[in-house]
């Protein structure tokens, strides 16, 4: 991809769903077109660098939604957490975030996938179902159920083992390291 210098990709959940996934499902162009299509289930998570959009230690890509989440070495299993995504302005439900973890055999790994999908449109389109039954088969009604955006990352083990559960900012860590200067003798 030919991205401008300094480009960083840190979208919110709402931005991933509204500005990327909804446009993809509606067959609309997305500029810049930074998220690639990838058949995730042919790759193990450690094979993603170079195939998906990487930002730091996170990878983003579009994939087809499927119940079969099996790779050659393992599978993605649901963590049982589905989270609705709402717009910040109108608080309208625009998507769903599902959490999955990667398993090698029966062993759970530190690889996490957040799978973003659009909400089931069947409840919101009851009036349009009459229209769609009359419409020809060549209509361009988007099928929102086919596409998902995946964010894959390896969870840092040291974060889980933090004694007090408090995450420090970089600035906090700098200030804490200044306390060590008392032990250094200056010439």
- What local confidence, expressed as pLDDT, does residue 92 receive? 95
Q: Which long-range contacts (CB under 8 A, 24 or more apart) does 144-147 make?
A: 144/25, 144/117, 144/118, 144/119, 144/120, 145/65, 145/117, 145/118, 145/120, 146/25, 146/64, 146/65, 147/21, 147/24, 147/25, 147/62, 147/63, 147/64, 147/65, 147/117, 147/118
Q: What is the pLDDT of residue 29?
A: 82
DSSP 71-125: -SS-EEEEEEEEEEEE-TTT--EEEEEEEEEEEETTEEEEEEEEEEEPPPTTTTT
Contact 118, 125 (CB under 8 A): no
Contacts of 110 (CB under 8 A, 6+ apart): 154, 155, 156, 157
pLDDT of the chain along its 187 residues, tens only?
566 778 788 899 999 999 999 999 888 887 777 888 988 778 899 998 888 888 888 999 999 888 888 898 999 999 998 999 999 999 999 999 999 999 998 999 999 999 999 997 543 333 333 344 444 444 455 565 689 999 999 998 554 444 444 554 455 555 455 555 455 455 5
User: Cβ atoms within 10 A of the Cβ of 57, count?
Assistant: 11
**HEC profile of 128-173:** HHHHHHHCCCCCCCCCCCCEEEEEEEECCHHHHCCCCCCCCCHHHH
**Sign of the Cα pseudo-torsion (51, 54, 58, 61, in order):** negative
């Amino acid at each position: 991809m030919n991205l401008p210098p300094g480009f960083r990709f840190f979208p919110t959940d709402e931005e991933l769903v509204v500005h990327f996934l909804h446009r993809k499902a509606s067959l609309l162009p997305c500029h810049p077109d930074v998220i690639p299509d990838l058949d995730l289930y042919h790759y193990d998570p450690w094979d993603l660098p170079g195939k998906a959009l990487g930002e730091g230690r996170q990878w983003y890509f579009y994939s087809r939604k499927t119940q079969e989440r099996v790779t050659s070495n393992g599978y993605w299993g649901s963590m049982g957490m589905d989270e609705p995504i709402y717009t910040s302005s109108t608080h309208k439900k625009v998507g769903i975030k599902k959490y999955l973890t990667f398993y090698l055999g029966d062993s759970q790994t530190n690889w996490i996938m957040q799978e973003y999908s659009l909400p089931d449109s069947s409840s919101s389109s009851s009036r349009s179902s009459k229209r769609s039954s009359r419409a020809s088969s060549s209509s361009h009604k988007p099928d929102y159920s086919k596409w998902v955006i995946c964010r894959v990352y390896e969870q840092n083990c040291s974060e889980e083992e933090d004694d007090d559960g408090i995450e420090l900012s970089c600035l906090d860590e700098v200030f804490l390291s200044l306390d060590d200067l008392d032990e250094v003798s200056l010439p």
